[in-house]
Structure 1
Amino acid sequence: MNFTSRLAVLVAAVVCAPAASALTLADALRAMEAHNPDLRAAALELRGVQGDALTAALRPEAELALGTSKYSAQQGLGPGGPQHKRLDSTLGVGWTWERGGKRALRMRQADALLATAGLEVLDSRRQQQVAVQEAYFGLKAAQERAAIAEDNRRSSREQLAAADRQVAVGALAPVDRARLAVDDLAVADAARDAALDLGDARHALALLMGRDAGDALSADDAWPQVDSDGGRRAIDPQQRSDLRAARARLEAAEAGVALARSERHRDIQLGIEAEREPGDISGVTWGVSMTVPLGGASRARGAIQRAQADRDGAALALQHLHRQARAEMDQLQAALVAAQARRQAYEGAQGDSARRAVEGMELAFRRGAASLTDLLDARRSWRDFEAALIDARAGHAIALARWRAATTVVEGEIR
């Protein structure tokens, strides 16, 4: 049985016990999209922005005014029915005429903010997908470490039991048996640490999926294959969701500047009024009114300055994010190439041959053809190799996930 087959058997037998819940990466991503708390919070924020867009499209509502005057405390309301009372009653309706294109600018700003919120949901989903893949392959690595650590612990106990029999017949010195016991303690500690790491990895993935932290998850997918091109792909960073969101935020800030400047145009309130005075032979009389705020254009200066500062800040953030995206892609590309080279180096190190060499050293020690020091050194080197191989595979899987997420363009917007 080769090294890969042996490792698969160990993982299935030791880690993936019946209590564990088998899980593919696709299942984990689907669960994340349905139950991830960060994505749900982003969706709620999007709903709020959608409500703001509806509010921005509203025109000023008409106002109803009802009033009465000329009430005398000495003479009271007077005799007769309501139409004979000594009151001057008025009923009016007023409308606000928005000038300067305020409603259109509000809608433009709201649409840009809505586009921003939708793109931020997409970018949040992209980031959570990376986090799930990192946690998933972290769990897979923890499973393999736990399986190997358990196998090493079992093998060490068998060796210690054999040493006890050799000491009993005088074939092994007690001091050598003590050295084996110390090594057995170290192997047992490593197995306990690996089990704890496995629990932590399960909890991390469960939280990202919106599941209970106590769920015994098991990552069943194989390690991703090594691409011959190193994962290279052509992409225009401008099409990434985070950069598109930054551009939409800048557009909203520019609309905010135009909206602040529109406050220089005074809104006018127009009204129509019906007045009834019992003593007036004309009965009900009609009138119109117009209300214009007083003050100069300087009253909007503060709002304009605030809006301009927000616009300049959005432009600066977009410029910085663009440079950051370029640098991030270069760094992720280099990290992927290095991770791929490291994995290929360890996988090409003939792990099966190294394992057989350790087993041969153990056999030689039992027959007295090798020293205890040689055996312990061989075991330690083999354990280091196993851990490094798992780290190399996990590092490549995570580097590949990060690179793909950074070079993935999500079309459209969420509305």
Structure 2
Amino acid sequence: MNLLVSRMDEQQRRWYVAFESMRVGHGGDTLLGAITGLHPDTIRQGRRELESDLSGRPLDRVRLEGGGRPPVEKKNAGIEPALMKLVEDHAGGDPMTERKWVRRSLRHLSKDLRKQGHAACPNTTSRLLRKRKFSLKSNRKGQTGPSHPDRNTQFQNIQQKRELFTAAGLPVVSVDAKKKELVGNFKNPGVAWRQKSEAVNTYDFIRDAQCRATPYAIYDVNRNRGAVAVGTSADTARFAADGLEHWWRGDGRRAYPQAKQMLLLADGGGSNGHRSRLFKTSLQRFADIYGVTLTVCHYPTGASKWNPVEHRLFSHISINWAAQPLRTLETMLACIRGTTTRTGLRVSAWLNNKLYPTKIKVPNAEMKSLNI
């Protein structure tokens, strides 16, 4: 009997034991109470509920509503105003959703409430804040600064160019450099399913790194194919152009054997920025060698996240190597090459150990000779 009783909830226990007590008859409550450990008053309550055909008992819960201790704000009406006064100078909020958040910890808020004579543990403080639509928040990047007056015009221009090149079967290529990565036994953000955590260095000192690698990506927008050059030198315009040339000599020219034009989508800054003289001269060299006319569209300032390579390639690479220490360049290359998606993304990668000097000056005479 006790084995069966142990698997029941509290109302089922008193009903079952009360039923058995009714079968025993006189003295059943005392006898069944001694056997099961239930108080005779509990058994008598179960009998009364059975005799009333369980009327008033809920089907979706064990206890009736309104049971338990009353909430602290009912016993102490001043605790909520006191808490709101404490967080008044430390609160921020979203005007659209009415969600709010505070910069002080629950422990400090509870301590200050106790100093004012309001007993409240951190859990109670948390509940009261949520009741007033406060919630935990992290920083959210959303401010891009003032936008360029021609921002929308440039987006429309890019869209028109993409549609024209796509309709003509010409390559539309998005390029950009991912953030530099320290290669060594360092922590990589993210989580992964493992039996044991990877042991990594406590500090990310560059002196402990094998090198600092720069992944430069070329993303074929229409074919959903990525190519990444992992460089160990500086992220220069020549490095960016070499990555584009390596891709074109291999996968690019095979995919577009008849193409005489190419559309490049790039950010406004960095190694492939619109002001980089070296990038322009490197592209002129590419066009002269391969006989391809390059149309370059730069995204407006503060709009780099709209570049397809950012959200169609880099995001998936970051997910693929999440929580994976990039101890060697081979590991980094393997993670990049292993990046796939259900929509068919495939990525190739290669190592570029070439040394790229910085601060190369391009004279005005050479700029005037470019066919821009």
Higher strand share: 2
TM-score range, shorter chain: under 0.3
Larger Rg: 1
TM-score, normalised relative to structure 1:
0.16
Structure whose residues are more often helix by fraction: 1
